[in-house]
Each structure stands twice: as C-alpha cells, then as structure tokens.
Structure 1
Amino acid sequence: MSSQKGNMTRSHPQKHQNMFTFKNDIFDKNVQTKKINTKLHDGVCQHCKEVLEWRVKYSKYKPLSKPKKCIKCLQKTVKDSYHIICRPCTCELEICAKCGKKEEIVIPFNKEPETSENTENEGSNHRRSCKQKEDSDEDLNAESDSDGEDGDTQA
C-alpha cells in the first residue's frame, strides 16, 4: 500500500486518469453560471485572485445571497463573495478585499458600485470614497478654475 509507513516507492501507476479537462459550463448552462464565469475579480492581491479563479474554474464559487458585514466600517456593504472588506474601505486603505493584507492589488477597483453612490447622496457618513475618484474631482475643479481665470483675464 502507498500509505504504509516507510513505503516511499509506488510500483504501479495512478488507477484513474482523466481523459479530458473539467469544464464548469458543459452541462450547467444557466444565467448564474455565465455570470460567475464572466466576473472580474478586482481589488484583490495576486494570491487571492488565483484562489477565486480556481473556485470559478471548478464550480466551487458560490455567490452571496445578501450583503455581508465589512470588518473595517462594520456596515453590511460587502457584496462580493469571499471578501471581508467593502470597496470604499479597500480603496481608502489600499488593502486586499479578501485577505485584508497590504499586498499589491492586481486589478484595482475602477469605480464605486451604484448603490453606494446613492447612499452617499443620502448623507450617510460611514462611506468612504476612492482616492481615484477624489483625484478626478480635484482635476475637474482645477480645470474649471483655470477656465474661469482665463475668462476673467481675457474680458
């Protein structure tokens, strides 16, 4: 037996070998599987991204049915499966949304989700915005100020 103590050599090959690779959508062609296959894993480090891709590849990925609580702001704002930190907290602290470590983010978040923008407009102060969004707002303000100054000097 190969599990015997001290038996380090196997005399026979593997009994069952796969003839073809596993495909998670070969028999399961519903909308949810298609959505999971096309999901972009952003805001996570390289290791966590590989873990999530493995889960998707072998049909182990289970989407969230309702939002989870963020461990930083303690609000129910985590909408991605296997994540522990919400998008605004991840952007502000520049940490991985899945493991919470200060690693290099492979694909940063492009924008805030639509629901968080609506809650910011309602005046909830627990929300934080990404530095990218703040920088773009400052750039727009600087451009509008420079346009106004040019108009004053020319008139």
Structure 2
Amino acid sequence: MSSQKGNVARTRSQRHQNAFSFKNDKFDTSVQTKRINAKLHDGVCQHCKEVLEWRVKYSKYKLLSKPKKCVKCLQKTVKDSYHMICKPCACELEVCAKCGKKEEIVIPINNKLEKTSEVESDKTSNGRRRNRRFEEQSSDELDFDLDLNELEDEEQNNHSSHTKNKSASAKT
C-alpha cells in the first residue's frame, strides 16, 4: 500500500494506538535522568531547542563524558551535548551553539549567567543563616554539656552520701 506510486491517501485509521504517553522517568529514577530533565537549553535557536527537548522527552539525550572541541576557537570548551560551538564563541558571534546558524536565540546565555549570580548570592545568604544556626546550636550544645556535668556532680554527691549512709548503717 505505501509502496504504490502516488497512493498518498490512507483509507483506514491507525491500527495500534497508545493508551498513555511515554514517560522517560517512569522506571529510570537515576540522578543522571533527573539532571537531564532539569537541564535548561540556552544559546540555541527554536528548532534546535525543540530537537533537544524531543531527545530529552524520549530518553535519547546523552550527556558528554568530556568536553568537545569548539569549531570556532578550537579549544575543548564545549560542555553541552550535541553542541558544536562553545558558549563564549556563540555569544560573541550571536549564532546558535548547536547548528551554527545566525538565527534568533530563544533563551540567551547571559540570562543564565545572571541567574547563577543570583543563586550564588542566595547561597551566601543561606550560608550566613546556616552559620548563625550552627553558632546557636553549638552554644546550646555547650550549655547542654554544662548541665550534664552539673547533673553528674550531683549524682556523684548523692551516690557518695548514699554509700556513706549504707556504711554507717552497716557498722551499727
């Protein structure tokens, strides 16, 4: 039927239809899959972004094990899979990092750099909060240790007075 020349009209419906869509993290709950699903595809054109999202959606996206060589600067600086131009070169030349064409970039690379600086500032403020909490906990721990020492001293005094009472009653 499909091999007949000029026969482009199909007369019947699809024989097998899926009851549910494919989920790439249904059985594979590894850290690598979570990292791939959370990846932001920046510095690429709309077509390349759709291709990369399709690869992620159907578990065809594979991470790089080591950096690749950039075709512009010839340095091993390409850290994203399926890209052929490093981010600094793509940003400087204003081209897609995957296909190399001068097309409109959907998510610019600079936005990610600003977000990372915001994230770093949040991390430092969180670090300060953690330090404060640690100082409070350490001071609480010290107070707790002092209380334990006082209790141990009281127990020793009670124990020694109790043994004195036993020895005195044993003598009589």
TM-score, shorter chain, exceeding 0.5 = yes
Alpha carbons of 1:38 and 1:5: their partners in 2 closer, same or farther (altered >3 Å)? same
Query: RMSD of the alignment, in Å?
Result: 1.8
CA distance in 2, matches of 1:87, 1:10: 46
The residue that corresponds to 1:111 in the other structure is: 113
Q: CA deviation at 1:3?
A: 2.8
Alpha carbons of 1:88 and 1:12: their partners in 2 closer, same or farther (altered >3 Å)? same
Alpha carbons of 1:8 and 1:86: their partners in 2 closer, same or farther (altered >3 Å)? closer
Deviates more, 1:61-70 or 1:99-108: 99-108
The residue that corresponds to 2:2 in the other structure is: 2
Q: Percent identity?
A: 80
Residues 43-70 of structure 1, C-alpha deviation per residue, up to 9 Å, x if partnerless? 1111111111111011111111111000
CA contact (8 A) 1:2 1:9 kept: no
CA distance in 2, matches of 1:100, 1:27: 35
Q: CA deviation at 1:27?
A: 1.0
Q: CA deviation at 1:11?
A: 3.0
Q: CA deviation at 1:14?
A: 1.3
The residue that corresponds to 1:47 in the other structure is: 47
Paired residue type of 1:111: L
Q: CA deviation at 1:93?
A: 1.1
3-state SS of paired residue (1:111):
helix
- Provide structure 2 residue ranges, at least 5 long, that are not aligned to the other structure: 115-172
CA distance in 1, matches of 2:96, 2:48: 8
TM-score normalised over the length of structure 2: 0.61
Q: CA deviation at 1:87?
A: 1.1
The residue that corresponds to 1:18 in the other structure is: 18
CA distance in 1, matches of 2:54, 2:85: 21
The residue that corresponds to 1:80 in the other structure is: 80
CA distance in 1, matches of 2:6, 2:103: 41
Q: CA deviation at 1:18?
A: 0.8
- Provide structure 1 residue ranges, at least 5 long, that are not aligned to the other structure: 113-155
Consecutive aligned runs of 4 or more in structure 1 exceeding 4 Å deviation: none
Residues 81-117 of structure 1, C-alpha deviation per residue, up to 9 Å, x if partnerless? 00001111112111110011111111111329xxxxx
Q: CA deviation at 1:21?
A: 0.8
User: How many residues end up aligned between the 2 structures?
Assistant: 113
CA contact (8 A) 1:84 1:97 kept: yes
CA contact (8 A) 1:24 1:58 kept: yes
Q: CA deviation at 1:7?
A: 3.0
Q: Which has the larger radius of gyration?
A: 2
Structure in which a larger fraction of residues adopt helix: 2
